[in-house]
């Protein structure tokens, strides 16, 4: 098994934490910007994109702070996950979004571009 590289991205969003919480914690919210459709059963999230699907297990969730998942296909690798962490900047009142993900060395740029595209869509949906 090859070691995946950690990817850390940060974005500023002009939205409330309450609105953003809905966008990352509900199937309908996630389907507006992250995937074409999302289903949740127990702690398994099924994400649908362009006719394909990927499943991830919710590892941890703390309201108004973070959500962390692990792709089921990567469950043998204890060092990888993907996480959406967020906080309100006390000075600007903007929401600071931190994305953590992992990718094979050859896929790092593609994964970054996928996140950029997803966050662009999130900003469009939020009007931020």
**Sign of the torsion angle spanned by Cα atoms 29, 34, 40, 42:** negative
Q: What is the pLDDT of residue 2?
A: 63
* pLDDT score of 94 more than 60: yes
**Cβ pair 88, 15 in contact under 8 A:** no
pLDDT value, residue 44: 97
CB 7 within 8 A of CB 116: no
Quote the DSSP letter at residue 33: H
> Which CATH superfamily includes the segment(s) 5-126?
START domain (3.30.530.20)
Query: Quick one: how far is CA 64 from the chain centroid?
Result: 14
Residue 77 has pLDDT above 90, yes or no: no
Q: Which is more confidently placed, 76 or 55?
A: 55
What is the structure's pLDDT at 127?
A: 87
| pTM (two decimals) | 0.90
Distance CA 21, CA 18 (A): 5
Residues in a beta bridge with 55: 46
pLDDT of 42 strictly over 70: yes
- Per domain, the residue ranges of the chain are 5-126
Degrees to nearest 5, angle at CA 101 with 61 and 106: 160
């Amino acid at each position: 098994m090859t070691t995946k590289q950690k990817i850390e991205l940060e974005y500023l969003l002009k939205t409330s934490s309450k609105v953003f919480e809905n966008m990352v914690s509900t199937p309908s919210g996630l389907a507006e910007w992250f995937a074409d459709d999302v289903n949740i059963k127990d702690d398994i999230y099924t994400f649908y994109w362009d006719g394909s699907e990927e499943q991830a297990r919710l590892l941890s969730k703390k309201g108004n702070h973070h959500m962390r998942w692990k792709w089921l296909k990567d469950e043998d690798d204890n060092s990888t996950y993907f996480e959406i962490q967020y906080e309100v900047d006390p000075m600007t009142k903007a929401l600071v979004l931190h994305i953590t993900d992992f990718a094979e060395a050859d896929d790092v740029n593609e994964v970054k571009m996928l996140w950029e595209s997803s966050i662009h869509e999130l900003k469009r949906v939020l009007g931020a």
